[in-house]
Structure 1
Amino acid sequence: MRSFYTFVLSIILLSAGTVHSQVPGKVEQLSDAQIQEFIQKSQASGLSEAQIEQLALQRGYTQQDVIKMRDRIAKLKAGQTKTSSSQSAETETSRKQTEAVAEKAPTVVAKQQSTSKTEAEDNTTQTKEVFGSSFFRNATLSFEPNLRIATPKNYSLGPEDELNVEIFGSSVQSYKLKVSPEGSIRIENSGPILVNGLTIEEAKAKIASRLRQLYSMPGIGINVTLGNVRSIKVTITGEVVRPGSYTISSLATVFNAIYQSGGPTANGSFRLIQLRRNNKLIRTIDLYDFLLKGDEKDNVGLRDQDVLVFPDYQARVELNGEIRRPLIFEIKEGETLKDVFQFAGGFTDQAYTATITVRRNTSKELKILNIQQDFFGSFIPQNGDRFTVGTILDRYENRVQIAGAVFRPGEYALDESIGTLKQLIQKAEGVRGDAFLDRIFIRREKENLDVENISVDLGKVLRGEIEDVKLQRQDFVTIKSIEELREKYTVSIGGAVSNGGNFEYTENMTLSDLVTLAGGFAEGAVSSRIEVSRRIKQEDTTAKSKANVQVFTLSIDKDLKITSQEKAFTLQPYDVIYVRTDPAYEAQKLVEIVGEVNYPGNYAIERKDERLVDLIKRAGGLKDKAFLKAARFYRQGELVAVDLERIMKNPGSKDNLRLEDKDRLLIPQKDELVRIAGGVLNPATVNYQDNSLEKYIAQAGGFTDQAIRKKVYVTYANGRTNTTKQVLGFKSYPKIEPGATINVPIEDTTIQRRMEPAERIAVFSLIGSLLIATGSVLASVLRN
């Protein structure tokens, strides 16, 4: 992993420096060939990991670039031959691992291609995943052997292993000794020492014995450790994704080799993998023990020339439905259905386990088997069996329910303590005081799943007057309250109260109580003349009554104090109360006058017959610059045209309007301008000169072609309008006053269009024909 990290940083450095001209700027743009080239060059860079990383960061690369490159290399390594090596010059006890796939014979390569093709074909027809196959597809996992652990006690030395021998005490000396192909090591001044096949402890004792013969001095200690380890060759064959010969570390185990090979193919076995040594079966490996329990008893060490064989699977079964891992599982001889369910992690919470359905292949067709729960431990599955675990029914075997006017409504178990209606009510803490006992309902599900309703007089059941009702599974008891069976009782109040509206009726409610609930009397309320209207109930429909409402006029204390006479009249449900207002009481009504008066502002209407002239007098009269012809009067925000000049001259005229609440009178100064708008060539605003409209039209450049001259109208400053009139065929335009606006309407040109040439020719032809016909008629008349 150390060398791998160095390669990642080296690639980033090289992409930014030495081969910058050949490498794109982004890590994603590097090709696989470039990555391979950079891996080779990084080995000769001579820089430490820290130095490479620092240089990469200085050149603008981020830590995310390092992570991206690591992912690229991981994916590249997962799809091709792996070669990794690491060697440290800082310590004498480093170990070296070489993992490379040896060259395969053409027949082996052909077999691998055939196997891959077969696997692809199987995957297209397989509907479910085989348990364990996802383990080998995880590119983030690494099953490389740990090279930094202590040398295993049972490790057997062999050629290419390196031993570190240290002599300490009265003499200090150290040796790095590599085991020769003949299995021996050689110490200076000594003959070869055969260590092939020995453990470290055995080799240590043998080397110590030889060194003590050379150094015949007391107090000498000897330590022997394993340095660089040798490589071994392991062959993996059979139904495996990547078969072939692998050169791996002598510390590698079975699981290391299996993971490098990609695991079993679609037809390969996960549970019968054979480890063969010297043409003898050493161990049968079951990956399920490791995948399910983490048991590494089969993860034994490998030796040179070991062979791993992946045979075809013997039997597989498929699990569907309410199971935690609905996958395909491989089974071995003697395993039961219970074992298969354990492989799958057991059932889900909603699993129906009373009976399991099995679809089994026969020599001719399919057949169905139903396995009872008691036989799970004895039923032997067969190859191709498909087990389906159903879902429990959405129903209860012992539930009854109660709702309504009881203290604890809900669900209850139908058991020894609850078997009847009376017992169920006792479990529900009894009925409430407002319960309607004369008729309750039991909703019952019949055997054909139809629903029937059973009515019961609960009062008689509780008193023991009739027999108790026996309950059945799925019964639903409903007890209505008295309030639910009648219309909600309310009373309403309106008029001179603060917050009128509908209120809930309560027994013994008085008129003062309701007024208090409504926030008390409003200003101007008359407490001595309160009207109450009450419904008249007529039980006899044949009786004829003159009225269906009875009206009372009552008086209560103005301050809502409790009096002795208060209880003499109590309200009844649906009474409607109205509190009258004193006819002499009225809130202030305000009008506003602004502009050219001496005291503008808001004024309260003193009398009901107060008028415009009165308001001007109360405002201190008009100022010298007041222009009465332009006075504007607004009522409820709408402009009302008034001639204030004529009103001031004749206050008794009908134009002198009576004032109302929120009226507004605006008296401006004289406006010396006249505005011309609409169908003129140059709409403008000009000084007032005289009352001739034609002069102002001329000042605006005259009428346009689209102007409608006969509909010209004038809007005066006070809001009145005057239109053009026709007198004996002549137009009589309205007079102009200061502040007026001349409006010239324009024709809607969107509905007009030019006649096409053909249309004009047709019109001219028609006119010509009419003239000729007319001339002929006149000539005939003259001749006669």
Structure 2
Amino acid sequence: MLRIFSHLVTFLFLISYIAVGQVPAKVEQLSDDQIQEFLQKAQSSGLSEAQIEQMALQRGYTPSDIAKMRDRIAKIKSGQVKKESSLSEETETSRFQAEEVAKKATVTLTQTPSKKIASDSVVAVGLEKQVYGSAFFREAGISFEPNLRIATPKNYILGPEDEINVEVFGSSVQTYRLKVSPEGAVKLENSGPILVTGLTIEEARNKIAGRLRQLYSMPGVGIQVTLGNIRTIRVTITGEVVRPGSYSISSLATVFNAIYQSGGPNANGTFRSIQLRRDNKIIRTIDLYDFLLNGDEKDNIGLRDQDVLVFPDYAARVELRGEVRRPMIFEIKPGETLKDVFRFAGGFTDQAYSANISVRRNTSRELKVVNVDQAGFSNFALQNGDKISVGTILNRYENRVEISGAVFRPGEFALDESVRTVKQLVEKADGVRGDAFLGRAFIRREKENLDTENISFDLGKLLRGEIADIPLKRQDIVTIKSINELREAYTVSIGGAINNGGAFEYAENMSIGDLIVLAGGFKEGAVSSRIEVSRRIKTDTATTADAANVQVFVLNLDKSLKINTEDASFRLQPFDAVFVRSSPLYEVQKVVVIQGEVNFPGSYSIRTRDERVSDLIERAGGLKLRAYLKAARFFRKGELVAVDLNRITEHPESIDNLRLEDRDTLIIPQKDELVRITGAVLNPATVNYGTSSVGDYVSQSGGFTSEAIRKRVYVTYANGKIASTRKILFFRSYPHVEPGAVITVPAVDETKRRKMEPTERIAIFSLIGSLVIATGSILAAILRNN
């Protein structure tokens, strides 16, 4: 609410001043009582915030004024308003008021019709990003106001409404605040008027000091004359400008202050020939490019009351596109050349093709193109509407050759006096490496039609001088392959009872012991006396039917990997495969687990390869009294294996007594007195074991459902075995039930039951009818014959 009230207060105060035809007052000139009064009026106002804001902007108020009013209201409500009493504070306040006047000129002349403003705005928006200098006036937040918090310039010209502060100090102390009258004079007490209009502040000081010395004719008296409150001057800005009109601005304002307040030239306005008129005479022609390009403020002179700034139409513009730092539209003066425009644009980019520039020019009938070479930039005169295009350099080199491959310094080199041939290029690259393949090298060359061709040559003979050297051309690429690039990568491999088996890079003079060390050494069960090496046979073996594909060597090494005679004499060759065997008697411990109703449950190592389930039970201290063998479960690799532990204990020689393997698990539970009924019964349940009849348990669960498949009922026993229903003649024989069993009644899968279509029913009935009729006809014929 504070923000809305601050807007309303400011604008209601504006309306009250407009009503009597006065210039709007500034926020700093309002008293606290006035602000309190206008705050009350704002609360009862019927105007919207947008309506009041639009009215204020039309009359010269700025967003800065609104912000200041907001701050004043906040300070009044918080009781932080400070009183100003001293002369220095009053002088500072008056300067501050003048500075606020300069922040935004007050337009009092009739504005340009709204249609023209709208059309100019459209053009300006389209060109502000193209015409050089327009962005300077469009940047939000830039402040270009006169600095009023400085010492008064000695060349400041006094005029009506200026205020002069005079201090007399020494043996006599007196302070005067003298305001220049409309007639141009200031008046001291006990003295006549002193004319100061048109004088500089320095000249006025001398004149006033002379009069005061007449009044204070005593030694030891000092006089200081300073400028207090400064006047407001009226400056008119007209022509092709964004906001033409008459502006009330500070008397310390300069040309650039006024130009910035007016928004700068519009789409048709000039940046290069702005006229400052005084007493109906042109006293200065202002070129903004001097300031925008170089920061030159020679044209930034002070303004006087009734000065007129005129923005004529631009005389000529050219457009610069392509590889320059500022591709924009630039205004030119008569006599300026292409070189000047490139200076305006900041010069070329590093990718610019500056040898020749294309200029598209308008003639009275049609367009034409003019090409200008680099030597003519400073002499080529431009015309209005010229469009200058700067292209990009070609993506190619005029003197580059390249060498790659088996040389010490591959890369790009300049084709010059020192590098003209292949041999010179190889020498420039510090020569070929030891692995270079000298039998064949080649040059990749770009032909005139941009196709490429390949030129092969014997590099060894060329370097020895046995064949003529080959001249190079620009863009040539010389490639020298290494021997390693022309063959399969040499490796050797090792596997078996080794710590880190795999493939390893082959090195000449490598032994088996070297390879085993690289592979991390032997595993514990490795046998070093039977190491096999498999070697490729490089000769063609297809001619002999029984010819071997590989050659196998069996070697005996010292397991400590000390160098022995056999290891030292046998050398590996590329692609050899080494196999290290494990001892036939060496095995890693294998562990089985027994849990449940045994005396010593836990994990046990398999002692022999023929150890069985019965042996495991015996090692676990035998069965407890509550052990229920029919429910024992045996797991191998996570899968349930049905075993008959009763048969195993009674007949250890039976096939049920499985041989133990690593990670086997045997679980022997107590007797489970429950039976579970699941599937297509009315009430699946778990009940106490009491009978071995399936029918009794189904009855206890409510009986079969309509979807039950009775002939497929099966029983899963506690040890994992499954027994299904059998059919004897026309009777079903359900499996017997034991404690811990699960009775499962399958149901019909409705999703798989296919319903007969109506057309199929009709066809079947028709077929049956036809069969009945045919049968009747046959019987009738038989009866007639009899």
Global fold match (TM > 0.5) = yes
- Per-residue displacement from partner, 1:566-597 (whole Å, max 9, x unpaired)? 33321211122222222233333322222111
Counterpart position of 1:643: 644
Alignment of 1:346-425 (within 5 A): 346-425=347-426
CA distance in 1, matches of 2:152, 2:49: 40
Which residue of 103, 106, 124 corresponds with 2:108? 103
CA distance in 2, matches of 1:270, 1:331: 9
Alignment of 1:200-599 (within 5 A): 200-538=201-539, 546-599=547-600
Shift in Å, 1:615: 2.0
Letter in 2 for 1:143: F
Shift in Å, 1:674: 0.5
CA distance in 2, matches of 1:441, 1:719: 76
Assess if the C-alpha contact under 8 Å between 1:112 and 1:241 holds in 2: no
Counterpart position of 1:199: 200
Letter in 2 for 1:668: P
Counterpart position of 2:186: 185
Letter in 2 for 1:104: L
Assess if the C-alpha contact under 8 Å between 1:442 and 1:477 holds in 2: yes
Name the CA shift for 1:37/1:582 in 2 (closer, same or farther; >3 Å). same
- Per-residue displacement from partner, 1:346-405 (whole Å, max 9, x unpaired)? 111111111111101111111111111111111111110111111111111111111111
Name the CA shift for 1:15/1:419 in 2 (closer, same or farther; >3 Å). farther
SS of 2:535's equivalent in the other structure is strand
Counterpart position of 1:61: none
Assess if the C-alpha contact under 8 Å between 1:234 and 1:305 holds in 2: yes
Shift in Å, 1:117: 4.1
Counterpart position of 2:656: 655
Which residue of 39, 42, 52 corresponds with 2:74? 52
TM-score (norm 2): 0.86
The farther-off stretch of 483-492 and 532-541 is: 532-541
Name the CA shift for 1:649/1:161 in 2 (closer, same or farther; >3 Å). same
SS of 1:353's equivalent in the other structure is coil
SS of 2:120's equivalent in the other structure is helix
SS of 2:509's equivalent in the other structure is coil
Counterpart position of 2:677: 676
Unmatched 5+ stretches in structure 1: 59-86
Matched, 1:33 2:52: yes
Name the CA shift for 1:374/1:659 in 2 (closer, same or farther; >3 Å). same
Assess if the C-alpha contact under 8 Å between 2:27 and 2:69 holds in 1: no
Shift in Å, 1:211: 2.2
Counterpart position of 2:629: 628
Shift in Å, 1:781: 11
CA distance in 2, matches of 1:625, 1:16: 102
Assess if the C-alpha contact under 8 Å between 1:525 and 1:582 holds in 2: yes
Shift in Å, 1:715: 0.3
- Per-residue displacement from partner, 1:401-423 (whole Å, max 9, x unpaired)? 11111111111122222222222
- Per-residue displacement from partner, 1:732-768 (whole Å, max 9, x unpaired)? 1110000000111122234569999x99998999899
CA distance in 2, matches of 1:326, 1:45: 39
SS of 2:355's equivalent in the other structure is strand
SS of 1:676's equivalent in the other structure is strand
Letter in 1 for 2:595: V
Counterpart position of 1:81: none
Shift in Å, 1:6: 7.5
The farther-off stretch of 116-125 and 230-239 is: 116-125
CA distance in 1, matches of 2:521, 2:400: 54
Assess if the C-alpha contact under 8 Å between 1:642 and 1:718 holds in 2: yes
Shift in Å, 1:139: 2.6
CA distance in 1, matches of 2:68, 2:134: 41
Counterpart position of 2:21: none
Alignment length, in residue pairs?
A: 741
CA distance in 1, matches of 2:211, 2:762: 136
Letter in 1 for 2:539: Q
SS of 1:400's equivalent in the other structure is strand
Counterpart position of 1:72: none
Shift in Å, 1:5: 9.4
SS of 1:134's equivalent in the other structure is helix
- Per-residue displacement from partner, 1:159-205 (whole Å, max 9, x unpaired)? 11111122222222111111111111111121111111111121122
Alignment of 1:708-727 (within 5 A): 708-727=709-728
Shift in Å, 1:621: 1.5
SS of 1:626's equivalent in the other structure is coil
CA distance in 1, matches of 2:26, 2:756: 88
Matched, 1:155 2:151: no
Letter in 2 for 1:33: I
The farther-off stretch of 253-262 and 518-527 is: 518-527
Shift in Å, 1:321: 0.5
CA distance in 1, matches of 2:774, 2:87: 126
Counterpart position of 1:176: 177
CA distance in 2, matches of 1:495, 1:596: 42
Name the CA shift for 1:778/1:429 in 2 (closer, same or farther; >3 Å). closer
Counterpart position of 1:706: 707
Name the CA shift for 1:124/1:601 in 2 (closer, same or farther; >3 Å). closer
CA distance in 1, matches of 2:771, 2:128: 96
CA distance in 2, matches of 1:88, 1:248: 25
Name the CA shift for 1:45/1:401 in 2 (closer, same or farther; >3 Å). closer
Assess if the C-alpha contact under 8 Å between 2:124 and 2:266 holds in 1: no
Letter in 2 for 1:640: V
Identity of aligned residues (%): 62
Shift in Å, 1:455: 1.7
SS of 2:320's equivalent in the other structure is strand
CA distance in 1, matches of 2:26, 2:512: 93
Name the CA shift for 1:55/1:508 in 2 (closer, same or farther; >3 Å). farther
CA distance in 2, matches of 1:159, 1:374: 59
Unmatched 5+ stretches in structure 2: 1-24, 81-85
CA distance in 1, matches of 2:68, 2:113: 39
Letter in 2 for 1:103: T
Shift in Å, 1:288: 0.7
Letter in 2 for 1:718: N
SS of 1:462's equivalent in the other structure is helix
Task: Report the RMSD for the aligned CA atoms in angstroms.
Answer: 3.8
Assess if the C-alpha contact under 8 Å between 1:166 and 1:175 holds in 2: yes
CA distance in 1, matches of 2:216, 2:232: 33
Letter in 2 for 1:129: Q
